[in-house]
Structure 1
Amino acid sequence: MPIVALAIGAVVAVIILIIIFKAIWRVAEPNEALIISGLGARAHNRDTAESLGFKITTGKGTLVLPGFQTCRRLSLDTRVSTLEVTCVTSQGIKVHVRGVVIYKVGDDFTSIANAARRFLDQQKLMDDKTHQLFAGHLRSIVGNLTVEDLLRDRDRLTNQVRTSSADEMGKLGLVVDSLQIQDIEDEVGYIDNLGKPDSAAVAAAARIAEAQRNQEATEAEQRAEQANAGQVRDTEIKKREYQGQVDQAAAEARQQVILKETKNAELEADRREKALEAEVRKPADAKAYERVTLAEAERQAAVATASAKAEATKMAGQAEAEATRVKGLAEAESIKARADALAENQEAVIAQQLAENWPEIVAAGAKVFGNVDNMVVLNGAEGVEDMLAKALTLGGTGLGVARQLLASMNGQNGQPDLAVHNGRPASPEQAIEPGGTA
């Protein structure tokens, strides 16, 4: 137990020591300075060996006795103060000057001590103090310059302002990192009018220069276009020359091909002509000759046949005419003989004619009964024969025929002809008088 108590007591003691150390130990940041004042906080200025009533610590740590000493921090950061000052030039022209001042507390102990004395508890007043300081110096310097001087040489104005304010800024513990005059304006338009001639001259010069540049550019473009046109022309000429050579070579090649094809065609035509001569024309000529020969033979045969037929026809006509003449003479002699016989023995001639035409006479007589609607025959077949005989002998059929035959015979001797039917003597049926009965 005593050991544990001792250990705990040691830990507590260490913790207390740490707490006490943290409470009394202060460390200065790189952008700040520690200003320690109080019991025993005295130091000498390392730059001037001046005895200071406070202690300055930068870039390290230091002990501060709580209750006996006070530690405050002074910023060493860069600060910016805007300048807007109305000034009057030596010409009596009111101008507005705008600029900016970039400043900070100096890094040396003197600057830190001066700034600590003036701004330690009022660091926000640095910008106002700096603005007033630079505004006073700026008005004083601008009052001795003209507007043209302000516009012509701003660096001179800047340097004069920095130089004139350097001592006062050093007393405040401040140093200027940069001063820039940004703009200068006037209320009456003096600066604008002052710049118009130069602006006009500059504008004119700019227009002239632009016109010259445009002219030069145009001329350069024209020269380039001419060069390009010449190059294009030369290229086109070369292309046409080359194309002409190509076309000529192609034409010559085509001509050679055409000549070769023509020669081949002529050879082929000769070959075909010979083949045609051997395969078609000669056989065709032979066949045509054969056809002509055969046609001539056929024609001669036809002429001979026609001549023979004409001769035969002529001979046949002559023979037929002779036969007709002989037949006519025979018929005439027959008719004369009949006429003589009729004159000498008429009954015998009639009987002969009847005997030659008896079948027709009987047929005609039988047809006579076709005109009878009702007929009664007695004595059977004998009655029919008796009736037929009477019809032929008494009824006039046979006599009619006989009369016709006699008339025909007499007609050959200048007497009336027998009845003729269709170029031959009329049949007994045709010779029966109408209205005959059985």
Structure 2
Amino acid sequence: MAAIALVAGLIVILLIALLWISSRYKRCPSDRVLVIYGRVGGQGQSARCLHGGGALVWPVIQGYAFLDLTPLPIEIKLQGALSQQNIRVNTPATFTVGISTEPGVMQNAAERLLGLSLEEIENLARDIIFGQMRVVIATMPIEEINADREKLITNITESLEIELRKVGLRLINVNIQDVTDESGYIDALGREAAARAINEAKIKVAEQERDGDIGAAEAQRERRIRVAEANATATEGENESQVVIANSDSTRRQQEAEAERAAVTAERVTQARAAEESFAAEGQAEQARASRDKASQEADIVVPAEVERERVRTLAEAEADRIRLVKGGEADGQRLLMEAEALGLLALLTRRAEGLGALVNNAGGNPQLAALLLVAEQMPNLVAEQVKAISNLKIDQVTVWDSGGSDGRTGNSTANFLSGLASSLPPIHDLAAQVGIKLPAYLGELDDESALERLREIADQLDQPSTEDSPGE
């Protein structure tokens, strides 16, 4: 009986020990962190943290508590934070934080967050986030804050994680909402980007239309050039047609240049308007920081004046381009006409040179003989001109005074009259020399004495019949 009682007592003691151990053994759920504090072993260690599993908590010398791992969404409405350019921006965002499960960071959470409610933890995290967001925004320009959200989130995350780890928290998610500013600078940037995109699209459409027109004009020009070349090779007598074609090409080039000028002018005007809108937006943002009323007044006066100045300048440049193109086309037309006349004159002189060369060849290669042939060909014309010189002289009568004396050598008065008349006429050599032609020697030279003798003989023959008829009268 004593043995049975001893065994029963041992069993009771064992059951009591098991019940006590089971009551002091604490399991850690997956959504919590078990913090055992008190005498946990290790010098300087104030608590022991467990995520998952379980541990035996000794009574009296140890205690335990749980840290909730539920994510805490924190809405941050940051207003009036200064950017790098001292422009105040509004940056609403939503942050999700929670207690970290990293060994070292869990220790920080056990030391600083144990015993705090979720609302108190949220308020603590909110204060840390506000401060770090202001620091990050102060290091970034407003253009980067608005355009590069990824960089903004990266900078905020890197800055926040360092501070949150100090209190045992970790950053789970960051969601930046629309960024705005009090001066309207970001809205101006958005309008500028939209205007730039629209202008680029319009420019591309204009360029495509211009390229299509230029391609069609080039094809038309190529066709006309080939037709003109075929006509030119077919006959040389169509020089006037070539001039007409050249004038038509000049007119077409003027029209193409006018179209190109219009496209370039439109592009310049578009770019100028885009730049003007950008500059106006920047000016409004800068002036809004100093005085919104002053910026509004300056925008009402300065901006229209600049627009009018750009419009006048653009119209003046367009008119100057048009005048230059018109004058250039007229000059091209005159040049083509003069080239056609020069080609015609060159063909005439070439034919004349070929004829003279053939004449020299027919004359046996003797240039002087060829020149004599040309002179002989023109002799009738020279004699005709000489006759015309005295053809209009009117001689009513010729009176011959004869003294009747004769020494038997000089002949009668008629013979003397004919010889005097022959000597008074210019020799043929002198006649040719008067027109700049030197006759060769084989054409004969005038001998004064022989000529006079011959004239006397002719006069005697003429006088004999008259003498024989005188007795009968």
State TM-score, norm by structure 2.
Answer: 0.38
State TM-score, norm by structure 1.
Answer: 0.41
Which structure has the larger Rg? 1
